[in-house]
A and B are shown apart, each in its own frame.
Chain A
Amino acid sequence: MDFALPEELIALRQSFAAFLDREVRPLEAEHAREFWGEYPDRDSLAPVVQSIRRRSAEEGFYAAYMPEEAGGQGLSVLGTTLLVEDAARSGMRLALAAIAPPNPAGPSPLLVKLPRHLWDSYVFPVVAGTTTMCFALTEPEAGSDAQSIRTKAVLEGDEWVITGHKHYITNGEHADFAIVFAVTDAEKRAAGGITAFVVPADQFRRGKLQWNLSDSHPAELYFDDARVPVDHVIGEVGMGFFEAMTFLNSGRAYIGAQSLGLAEWALDAAIDHAQKRTAFGRPLAKNQGVSFPLARSKADIEAIRWLVYHLAWRVDTEGDALGVMGDASITKYYATETAFEVADRAVQVFGGMGIMREGPVERVQRHLRMLRVVEGASEVQLLVIARTLGL
């Protein structure tokens, strides 16, 4: 057993930290007020997010996990996990734009299963951060039970014709193209009847934006006889579900890493506040009612950390195999639920400022509340864990 992080990943973290400090921190300060309104001022923030994404891609951070032949750096899941954690831990909202995962706007590793002649259109630009994508799986009647999707694709000559309605699609509003899951064989469904397609934005219609409690705002997408050439299939026809599963485990490590980083930021902020803020003639931290919850948060964070790093290490060691799935579910479940509690304690320590939009931790708790629902709700993770127990 060796729990030491490899020296090259420590060097990479330092390099990424320098990038965040020099290039993102000044922008975060400049645009802080735009985050404070009832809703963030998306129109003025969009170009800022875009510029950070491009700069980070130029410097090799944004999509470092993509293979070298796709324009990435071939960075391990553990390495990517550390960068996702560090972006979240920086406490800067804009830092989340500097590293693609777990935001589906960045390149999905699934894209490398497209034929090579399509990479100039769908792989290299999204790896370079000049375009973005979205992952269109969820439908009004198919959430956790994703294989119940109704969107269909029918082959007509040398084109697939896609019909259906997707919702809760993160970055649906801005995406240049979507990875769309559609039924190609109603009999087989998940067992060989669902196919993943890449569909350019001019082939779908964006419905209404769906405001939720987090600062992300997914969109509805309508596919009214959307047409794509036969070569726009990701992997094999009918194997879309299996293709998607391939990267599920690393995706869960990244959700865990973001939860970890946000929890660390919330705890650091709460500790600082508890030491500086005085009430009844002494610092808040002098009360065990304040210090013990924060001590529990520290213990929780270390538990999250080692679950997340261990999952990342397993994916790197064993591949993104189905056998790792139990650990992936444990990590996603525990990291999001526990980090939410850490953020909740931080909000309580901050008191009035804790619930203010302009305060340091309010949005962290909202974001973590969202993570308990998306990418497999906690109950879905518990279901997977129960199955690994033979239940």
Chain B
Amino acid sequence: MKIAVCVKQVPDTWAEKRLKPEDSTLDRESAEGVLNELDEYAVEEALRLIEAQGGEVVVVSMGPERAGETIRKALSMGADAGIHIVDDALHGSDAIATSAALAKALEGRGFDLILFGSESTDARMSVVPAMVAERLGLPQLTFAQKVEVDGSTVRIERQAEYGYDSIEASAPVVVSVVEKINEPRYPSFKGIMAAKKKPVDTLTVADLGLEPVTVGLAAAWSAVDEFAARPPKAAGTVIADDGAGGVKIADYLSQQKFI
């Protein structure tokens, strides 16, 4: 079985994120870059599938030079090889352009399964897996809390508010996973050392056969006109209890339309 896992480098989930004033894109230098947490679950699931059934896991990521660290981390967890799509022309790409680049990198490589985390912790759109599936003409099984591969049939439990739906499709297939699916492993020292020797192919926009004008900030379907920093936390209202504190709190809540 040949599995691709698409991963993204995101600013540390807990860090204060900033936008760059010059082009309103995310300031990736302002916070430590980490492997998107949900993508770790996708990597783990891919590793478990090949540990059980044999095969190969290829990690695919689009991002600037330093996103290579994220590919290396997935390799240190146990993935076999990496593909890094890196090109200045891609800076500021929206989900539509990202899905185009990923689809080009994935097509024709014989993947049976293309795994994604169900969303990134920075953009939180959850659309790239669906877009990639559409571009590749593959079925999509999204929000999986369980994945089973039985020959060429891929079956998932799709997480829902009321429980889950069981759905299946024939491989090749695009699957996105939710955090309920497993507990990702931690890269060990041996894994980190082994990852240094694993191959990572670098692809540019030209290698993918995409026109530079179709990707990047200028081609994005939406634009950020302006942004402002979050206002500082205002001091709270203190109500001294002079015997009527309860009434005053109720009045306050009522004014704020909480009650």
Any A CB within 8 A of the CB of B249: no
Q: Which residues of B contact A15 (CB under 8 A)?
A: 76, 186-188, 192
CB of B185 within 8 A of CB of A68, answer no
Checking B72, B185, B189 against A12 with a beta-carbon cut-off of 8 angstroms, the contacting residue is B189
CB of A11 within 8 A of CB of B73, answer yes
CB of B193 within 8 A of CB of A8, answer yes
Q: DSSP majority for the A interface?
A: helix
Q: Give Cα A19–Cα B184 distance, bound, in whole angstroms.
A: 10
Q: Which residues of A contact B76 (CB under 8 A)?
A: 11, 15
Which one of A59-67, A152-160, A179-187 is at the interface?
A59-67
Q: How many residues belonging to B are interface residues under a CB distance threshold of 8 Å?
A: 13
Query: Per-residue CB proximity of A85-105 to B under 8 Å, as 1/0?
Result: 000000000000000000000
CB of A73 within 8 A of CB of B186, answer no
CB of A73 within 8 A of CB of B187, answer no
Q: Which residue of B lies closest to A16 (CB)?
A: B186
Query: Per-residue CB proximity of B181-198 to A under 8 Å, as 1/0?
Result: 000011111111100100
CB of B186 within 8 A of CB of A11, answer no
CB of A8 within 8 A of CB of B192, answer yes
Q: Given A8-B196, A11-B73, A11-B76, does the pair A59, B186 have CB atoms closer than 8 Å?
A: yes
CB of A18 within 8 A of CB of B188, answer no
Q: Which residues of B contact A16 (CB under 8 A)?
A: 186
Any B CB within 8 A of the CB of A129: no
Q: Give Cα A18–Cα B187 distance, bound, in whole angstroms.
A: 10
CB of A79 within 8 A of CB of B188, answer no
For B185, B187, B196, the residue with the greatest tally of chain A CB atoms inside 10 Å of its CB is: B187
The smallest beta-carbon distance between A22 and chain B, in angstroms, is 8
Q: Which residues of A contact B189 (CB under 8 A)?
A: 8, 12, 60, 64, 73-75, 79
Q: Which residues of A contact B188 (CB under 8 A)?
A: 15, 59-61, 64, 73
Q: Given A11-B73, A11-B76, does the pair A59, B192 have CB atoms closer than 8 Å?
A: no
Q: Which residues of A contact B186 (CB under 8 A)?
A: 15-16, 18-19, 59-61
Q: Give Cα A168–Cα B82 distance, bound, in whole angstroms.
A: 53
CB of A12 within 8 A of CB of B190, answer no
CB of A11 within 8 A of CB of B190, answer no
Q: Give Cα A28–Cα B186 distance, bound, in whole angstroms.
A: 20
Which chain A residues numbered 1 to 34 have a C-beta less than 8 Å away from chain B?
8, 11-12, 15-16, 18-19
Q: Give Cα A79–Cα B196 distance, bound, in whole angstroms.
A: 17
Q: Which residues of B contact A75 (CB under 8 A)?
A: 189
The smallest beta-carbon distance between A82 and chain B, in angstroms, is 11
Q: Which residues of B contact A11 (CB under 8 A)?
A: 72-73, 76, 187, 192
The smallest beta-carbon distance between A208 and chain B, in angstroms, is 40
For B189, B192, B193, the residue with the greatest tally of chain A CB atoms inside 10 Å of its CB is: B189
Q: Give Cα A11–Cα B32 distance, bound, in whole angstroms.
A: 13
The smallest beta-carbon distance between A341 and chain B, in angstroms, is 32
Which chain B residues numbered 163 to 196 have a C-beta less than 8 Å away from chain A?
185-193, 196
Q: Which residues of A contact B196 (CB under 8 A)?
A: 8
The smallest beta-carbon distance between B185 and chain A, in angstroms, is 7
Q: Give Cα A11–Cα B188 distance, bound, in whole angstroms.
A: 9
Q: Give Cα A60–Cα B76 distance, bound, in whole angstroms.
A: 13
The smallest beta-carbon distance between A179 and chain B, in angstroms, is 25
Query: Per-residue CB proximity of B121-154 to A under 8 Å, as 1/0?
Result: 0000000000000000000000000000000000
The smallest beta-carbon distance between A190 and chain B, in angstroms, is 36
The smallest beta-carbon distance between A255 and chain B, in angstroms, is 22
The smallest beta-carbon distance between A158 and chain B, in angstroms, is 39
Q: Give Cα A16–Cα B76 distance, bound, in whole angstroms.
A: 13
Q: Which residues of A contact B73 (CB under 8 A)?
A: 11
Query: Per-residue CB proximity of B56-98 to A under 8 Å, as 1/0?
Result: 0000000000000000110010000000000000000000000
CB of A60 within 8 A of CB of B193, answer no
Q: Which residues of B contact A18 (CB under 8 A)?
A: 186
The smallest beta-carbon distance between B25 and chain A, in angstroms, is 25
The smallest beta-carbon distance between B6 and chain A, in angstroms, is 21
Q: Which residues of A contact B190 (CB under 8 A)?
A: 60, 68, 73-74
Q: Which residue of A lies closest to B77 (CB)?
A: A15
Q: Which residues of A contact B192 (CB under 8 A)?
A: 8, 11-12, 15
Q: Give Cα A59–Cα B73 distance, bound, in whole angstroms.
A: 15
Q: Give Cα A266–Cα B191 distance, bound, in whole angstroms.
A: 33
Q: Give Cα A130–Cα B167 distance, bound, in whole angstroms.
A: 41
Q: Which residue of A lies closest to B34 (CB)?
A: A14
Q: Which residue of B lies closest to A56 (CB)?
A: B186
Q: Which residue of A lies closest to B188 (CB)?
A: A60
The smallest beta-carbon distance between A342 and chain B, in angstroms, is 27
Q: Give Cα A74–Cα B196 distance, bound, in whole angstroms.
A: 16
Q: Give Cα A19–Cα B187 distance, bound, in whole angstroms.
A: 10
Query: Per-residue CB proximity of A328-351 to B under 8 Å, as 1/0?
Result: 000000000000000000000000
Q: Which residues of A contact B193 (CB under 8 A)?
A: 8
A–B Cβ pairs within 8 angstroms, 8 of them: A12-B189, A15-B186, A15-B187, A15-B192, A19-B186, A60-B188, A60-B191, A68-B190
Q: Which residues of A contact B (CB under 8 A)?
A: 8, 11-12, 15-16, 18-19, 59-61, 64, 68, 73-75, 79
> A15-B192, A16-B186, A73-B188 known; 7 other A-B pairs, CB under 8 Å?
A8-B193, A18-B186, A60-B186, A61-B186, A64-B189, A68-B190, A79-B189
Please give me the 8 A-B residue pairs with the lowest Cβ-Cβ distance, nearest first: A60-B188, A73-B189, A15-B187, A15-B186, A59-B186, A75-B189, A8-B192, A11-B192
